[in-house]
Structure 1
Amino acid sequence: MYKRILTSALLFGMACTGPPAWAQSCAPRAALVTQLETAYGETLSARGLQSAESLIEVFASPQSGSFTVLMSRPDGVSCIISTGTHWLIEPAPPAKDGVTG
């Protein structure tokens, strides 16, 4: 009985110490950007601060509609958060007369 408990505890402990799945898709930002541009034709479409330690960037291709969301850290490492298709890049609607923003 103790063998089963010990084996279960070891397996559970090893599973808990593994990195999260998205951490395996991290690399230097420059390398990821080059890969997105050459392999997928994606260029920077939008960016914004998530916190003081992370910048969220969206790279998209107007031709294919593919997109990739990166989280970039100050140390120059970026991680792929999400990818997908059918991204629409549309210009902002024109402002109405007398109304700003």
Structure 2
Amino acid sequence: MFKRLCSTAMIFGAAALAPPQAAVAQAMTCLPRDALVERLEDRYKEHPTGGGLQNPQQLLEVWASDESGSFTVFVTRPNGLSCILATGQNWTGAARTQPDGVAG
């Protein structure tokens, strides 16, 4: 019984000491959009492949490289600050197809 009580106390104690989500979100890599775009183009040979408004205050962008397969997903705010949400390898873009009956 005492072992279970101590184990439970340790688990809940560790959970209480965990950093709040706001602190985790602040650890995201953010920098001016111009600097990020320059790095993506020069170092990783990435270019815009998609994106859209996540909400009126955030533009979500997906950049990828056909050469290396790398990709970066980031959000840009109105103040010009961009925060990287995800990066990875082996990007495969979806093939764009023309819907039936649409001239184009």
TM-score interval, smaller chain:
0.7 to 0.9
Match of 2:61 in 1: 57
Match of 2:51 in 1: 47
Alpha-carbon distance, 1:64 to partner? 0.8
Match of 1:36 in 2: 40
Does structure 1 conserve the Cα–Cα contact (< 8 Å) formed by 2:48 and 2:61?
A: yes
For the residue of structure 2 that corresponds to 1:100, the secondary structure is coil
| Structure 2 unaligned residues grouped into runs of 5+ | 1-12
Aligned residues: 89
1:13-28 correspondence to structure 2 within 5 Å: 15-16=19-20, 19-21=23-25, 23-28=27-32
TM-score (norm 1): 0.73
Percent identity between matched residues is 39
For the residue of structure 1 that corresponds to 2:36, the secondary structure is helix
Paired letter, 1:35: R
| Structure 1 unaligned residues grouped into runs of 5+ | 1-7
Paired letter, 1:36: L
Alpha-carbon distance, 1:12 to partner? 4.1
Paired letter, 2:69: G
TM-score (norm 2): 0.71
CA RMSD of aligned residues (A): 2.6
Alpha-carbon distance, 1:100 to partner? 3.0
CA distance in structure 1 between the partners assigned to 2:70 and 2:88 by the alignment: 6
Detail structure 1 runs of 4+ shifted over 2 Å in the superposition. 15-24
